[in-house]
Amino acid sequence: MIHQPKEIKLNQIAEAISDKFKGKDQLTIYCGSNAASPTSSLEALTDAVKLYSPKLPFLKMVHILMQGPIPYTEPGLQDRIMTYSIFSGSQVRKAANEGRAFYVPCTLANIDSLIGKDREYEPDVVIFKVRQHEHTGEFSLGLSVEAMHTAIECADLVIAELDQSMPFTQGQSIIDNTAIDYLVIDERIKPVYEIPAPDFDNLSPEEKRIGELIANHFIKDGVTLQVGIGKIPDAVVATIRDSNYKDLGIQTELYGDGLMILQKMDIVTNRRKKANTGYSTTSLIMGSKELYDYVHLRTGVQMRPCGYTNSEETVRKNAPFISINTAMGVDFYGNVWADFVDARYYYSGVGGQPDFIRALNDPAYGVPIIALKSITYKGESKIVRTHPKGVSLTASSYDGVVIVNEFGIADLRGLTAGEKALAVASIAHPGFRDEYLKSIIDDPYFTKPRDCQVGKPHRNVVYYEGNVKLMNG
């Protein structure tokens, strides 16, 4: 007889966990993430924890970025249910900075090393969303594959929340019904999360400049792209959209509306990719309803685990490869940080940024770009003399990255330490630039070319020469 998951309601989830693990004093639960966060199931489980009905072991909740309410992060629950977050949004960020949640630093390519068999966070339970195919009956992980296959394989109890609002995606999002123990079917299940589509007509002048610099200097016909979601990636997509590039490919950790637009316009064809020729590959999808309708049953967009999309081998196979990410800041030495503002203020996570940077440490394979505005909303420079003490780095001085902001490009690949400092300082905001350059030139610690001086072009620096005017620059 073919195995079928047992159907339960939301209020039966805690009982199913309690019955399975009688006598255990601690459980690790891995949760689906991002747009496919199983909010309703997690709310039902948290309600049971609060009521001690049933009495559950201490629960360790492990996941990457979650959307929507995360009820178990509220104060007073951490002695019964605790967050272990690999990448965080505002709720987990607040809890972590108040000592009520743990941040687990790990790149997306390496999540399997955390949650695999006999590893520190090997899950006992997995909770996630699925979409069922109307005709074949197959189940799809939909918008969030990331490390779900490893979690499902290792867990003793697999709970899937059935959500027909989620698109049925192709590729390695398919899971066998024999892998699911309980299928949660309940009219109270909250739908997947939608993110507004990019507003290409209202990008800031700084964002437009950055997009123009990247597209004009690094995008070529046939390159494979990895870009994140945000204003700066949107600006790059907008410039590509309005240009005449052909046969681009996509291999990314996160596929959003911008990449969909390029694929709809046949600017992205994936025909020149060496690995996964003919289709875009991603481990996560997040964006608008239009995006979700587009990827539903579409073979041209295929899901893969993040251990594959972010692997050095796959990235290098798809050379020439352009990776575009952002960061909190960069220092004179070429160090980049993204998960902390400073050592006392955790922000998000390293994500997949280091995966792509290290895969592209040989220029033969492509370009790892860090794109960021020159100053914060408070007017503080994002280019600083040294990185904040105690923060982790997503790129170190020995990683050859290319820094792009609204004032220009500093290609740090192959430069000496002194040349890196000059290049980075050369594209600082004008309110800081000359002071930075003079301090480097006057400091004997930095070994520099003999003829370097303020106002003179420095090696591997390209200044913005377009027509987009800054409001205050």
Q: What is the pTM of this model?
A: 0.95
Helix 13-20 vs helix 39-51: crossing angle, to nearest 10: 70
Bridge-partner residues for 404, per DSSP? 371, 409
Question: Where are the domain boundaries for CATH 3.40.1080.20 in the chain?
Answer: 200-463
Task: Give the strand order in the sheet containing 301-303.
Answer: 170-171, 301-303, 280-282
Residue 255 has pLDDT above 90, yes or no: yes
Active-site residue flag, 253: yes
Strand partners, 345: 342
Higher pLDDT: 319 or 244? It is 319
**pLDDT for the residue numbered 473:** 56
pLDDT, tens only, 79-122: 999 999 999 999 999 999 999 999 999 999 999 999 999 999 99
pLDDT tens digit string along 453-470?
Answer: 787 788 899 999 999 999
Catalytic hit among 253, 290, 406, 435: 253
CA distance 189 to 171: 25
What is the tens place of the pLDDT at every residue in 326-363? 999 999 999 999 999 998 999 999 999 999 999 999 99
CATH of 200-463, one of 1.10.3080.10, 3.40.50.2000, 3.40.50.720, 3.40.1080.20: 3.40.1080.20
Token pair of 253 as six digits: 């950790």
What is residue 404's predicted lDDT score, i.e. its pLDDT?
98
pLDDT at 2 over 70: no
| Distances from the Cα of 137 to the Cα of 26, 159, 175, 418, angstroms | 35, 17, 11, 61
pLDDT interval class at 228 (50, 70, 90):
confident
Instruction: For CATH 3.40.1080.10, list the domain ranges present in the chain.
Output: 6-184
Task: Provide mean pLDDT across the span 388-411.
Answer: 95
Tokens, residue 361: 């440490």
3-class secondary structure per residue, 422-454: HHHHHCCCHHHHHHHHHHHHHCCCCCCCCCCCC
Cα–Cα nearest to 419, from 329, 333, 331: 333
**Are 371 and 324 a contacting pair, CB within 8 Å?**
yes
pLDDT confidence of 396, banded at 50, 70, 90? very high
| Class in CATH terms, 6-184 | alpha beta
> Which tens digit of pLDDT belongs to each residue from 151-190?
999 999 999 999 999 999 999 999 999 999 999 999 999 9
What's the mean pLDDT when you consider all of the chain? 95
